[in-house]
Structure 1
Amino acid sequence: MPQLPAAEGHPVVDIHAHHFPAALHAPARTADDPRWPRLVVDDDGRAGRIMRGSEVFRQVEPALWDVPTRLAELDLAGVDTQVISPVPVTLSPWADGKDAAEFLRLQNDLLAEAVAGSGGRLHALGAVPLQDVDAAIAELLRVKQELGLAGVEIGTRIGDLELDDPRLRPFFVAAGEWGVPLFVHPTDGPRTTRRAEPTYAFGVGMLTDTALAATALVFGGVLDDCPGLRVALAHGCGAFPWTYPRTAYGESLMRGGPDPARTAHLDGLVGSLWADALVFDPGHLPLVAARLGAGHLMLGTDHPFLNRPLETALTTLTEAVDRDLLGEREVARVLGRNALDFLGL
């Protein structure tokens, strides 16, 4: 494993990891719908599959559902604390609001059980049925007050609704007022690239999907209307750190020309966003840090997905220090303190 910069006396915290509870099941009323994801574990417990109907959605490893296995892998990597969140396919924005609420409520309960069985090593982000905003707000409050989860994961789109759709605004207002941090994860990579092959959907689609969500938050009025909102976006905020200047320039043309006050305001909104540092190339990190601030960058691994996810993410950060792309003190905070600040812990 890479030699980590000292994390300033704080635990090393991974903000971006996924958990699929083995006991998660579809609502009884629509249990036959093949779109509901479920976990099938081999008899020996060494492998599993996320299934949708008879389709294998993804081959998975035990750390995805087994807490002791996960903790052993964290120990080997030198990660003290991990924030687990739903596998995005479970967010189920296609479902009826009542069914989604039942499914996600069960998942939130099971995430809370995983946290309780981790000896203080895990926190969790829950999920809410955003296709029914009133139900989503109710579950948001339950996640915070009853279950004590650290926040909520949402997708980049809710069905056909972009994040700046006025129908979703009451949810963001509630999250800001109650101090519930939100983690935005890409869910629509193939559609944004027109191609479903992994080379395109994973390599370009997820980053484009995330950039569209960030653009909606900044330019669509969400952050203006919810000044206390804490939002983090996965994968280094996607392509948004690169697309933002052109988007701002295009907006200025529509507004009649450059406006320094508007530019400063937009820069401030962008600087209020958070992101994980899962960018696969340390050369990307200085620009992300320049847009959001190094204090808003956090360790994220996508564990237990990808190839050697914990080591890959940690190596990116240590190489950033070795190449003088970020300071050792900045990276020490990225490894832990920043995530604690984002979560309000």
Structure 2
Amino acid sequence: MQEAGSPRDGVDLHAHWFGRDLQVADRMQDDRWPTLTVDSSDHGRLMLGSTPFRDVRSSLWDVETRLADLDAAGVRHQVISPVPVTLATWADRDRAIEYARACSASVSAAVAASGGRLLGLGAVPLPHVRESVDALQGLMTGTRPMLGVEISSRIGALELDDPLLLPFFEAAESLGALVMVHPGDGGSGTVRRGGQPYDFGLGMLTDTALAAAALVFGGVLDRFPRLRVVLAHGCGGFAWSYPRMRLGANVFQGIDAGRLDELVRRLWVDSLVLDPEHLRLLVHRFGEDRVVLGTDHPFFPAVTQQARAFLSEAEQSGALRRGAAHRVFSSNGAVLTGLGAVAS
């Protein structure tokens, strides 16, 4: 909980939304599409067809409850994005377009109802690239523009450096869209051992690391120098794996290590690493100005409530330098989102 008298100045870049208005899956006749079942004023279930996917709290669909959560955690602004399971990279063109449009509309409605507290990332129907470019144009230039878009760490069978995806990243750069990269399949199929805790604990981190590697080693960041990308979960295992990948790229491909370091420090990553000591490496790898608050709200309530204390603990232990906790909790996110100085 927020301590009495502490400022409400946090800027949370990693949070999800699934509104009660997102009902198009009911008519799509495919059990892979998620739907929301509300059981009471404070409890619901995300469903895949008739199969329960996840128990959820009302903060997932209710703006008022969400803002109360943010007040308790000292968070002033939150960037909301679709629940990752809605990033249906397997879907056919027409259904993918319809569902992505509905996800974005739900996020936009929540932003509009929040009194300026919520900011939005929409959805696009990747891997249908031309349609995704059109959708991104609409998200960024419509009557209620969004900050950008959330995409999966892999697009079906495509890694993020696949040439087919280049027009999408070109559009994101030219439109100034923020691209949030998040595992879309819960880590399944990424490591050799599936199920839990392996998908959640290793698969999602590996999936995100592979996405970052595609952006850095696959030439995407080189090709689009103004592209803004933030990766969930502290960029997964990438911060730990990068030195070995850098050595391999230098030895076997002749890629300049210094240039790779420059590209890595263009990425933004969130603070959702669950151990304060891990923040030390994030700052070392990406830069103190590139780590932003991430909570995965509302799925792990304690993470949101303890976000400020988590960063303060890292500062007190020396994992973060003095003053860095505030930068991660507030200032860096304000810069990335264009909020400027955040009022308490």
| Matching residue of 2:148 | 151
Which residue of the other structure, out of 125, 139, 142, is the alignment partner of 2:138?
Answer: 142
Question: Using the alignment, how far apart are the partners of 1:227 and 1:5 within structure 2?
Answer: 42
Question: Using the alignment, how far apart are the partners of 1:19 and 1:312 within structure 2?
Answer: 20
Helix, strand or coil at the partner of 1:224? helix
Helix, strand or coil at the partner of 2:227? coil
Is structure 2 residue 118 aligned with structure 1 residue 122? yes
| Corresponding residue pairs, total | 337
| Matching residue of 2:16 | 18
Q: Structure 1 47/2 Cα, relative in aligned 2: closer, same or farther at 3 Å? A: closer
Matches within 5 A, 1:187-206: 187-188=184-185, 189-206=187-204
Question: Using the alignment, how far apart are the partners of 1:121 and 1:127 within structure 2?
Answer: 20
Helix, strand or coil at the partner of 1:95? coil
Is structure 2 residue 311 aligned with structure 1 residue 311? no
TM-score, reference length from structure 2: 0.94
Q: What letter corresponds to residue 96 of structure 2 in structure 1?
A: A
Indicate if the aligned counterparts of 2:2 and 2:72 stay in contact, CA closer than 8 A. Answer: no
Question: Using the alignment, how far apart are the partners of 2:238 and 2:292 within structure 1?
Answer: 17
Q: Which moved more, 1:89-98 or 1:335-344?
A: 335-344
Q: Please report the RMSD computed on the Cα atoms of aligned residues, expressed in angstroms.
A: 1.8
Offset, 1:6: 7.8
Indicate if the aligned counterparts of 2:177 and 2:228 stay in contact, CA closer than 8 A. Answer: yes
| Matching residue of 2:338 | 344
| Matching residue of 1:96 | 92
| Matching residue of 1:266 | 260
Matches within 5 A, 1:159-308: 159-188=156-185, 189-255=187-253, 262-308=256-302
Question: Using the alignment, how far apart are the partners of 1:313 and 1:197 within structure 2?
Answer: 28
Question: Using the alignment, how far apart are the partners of 1:27 and 1:48 within structure 2?
Answer: 17
Indicate if the aligned counterparts of 1:5 and 1:332 stay in contact, CA closer than 8 A. Answer: no
The alignment-based identity, stated in percent, is 50
- Structure 1 gaps of 5+ residues are none
Q: What letter corresponds to residue 80 of structure 1 in structure 2?
A: R
TM-score, reference length from structure 1: 0.93
Q: Which moved more, 1:133-142 or 1:247-256?
A: 247-256
Question: Using the alignment, how far apart are the partners of 1:51 and 1:103 within structure 2?
Answer: 16
Which residue of the other structure, out of 37, 41, 52, is the alignment partner of 2:38?
Answer: 41
Offset, 1:192: 1.1
Question: Using the alignment, how far apart are the partners of 1:22 and 1:263 within structure 2?
Answer: 48
Measured against aligned partners, the alpha-carbon deviations of 1:37-59 in whole angstroms (never above 9, x if no partner) come to 110101x3221111111110111
| Matching residue of 1:320 | 314
Indicate if the aligned counterparts of 2:84 and 2:184 stay in contact, CA closer than 8 A. Answer: yes
Question: Using the alignment, how far apart are the partners of 1:230 and 1:15 within structure 2?
Answer: 13
Q: What letter corresponds to residue 334 of structure 1 in structure 2?
A: V
Indicate if the aligned counterparts of 2:18 and 2:106 stay in contact, CA closer than 8 A. Answer: no
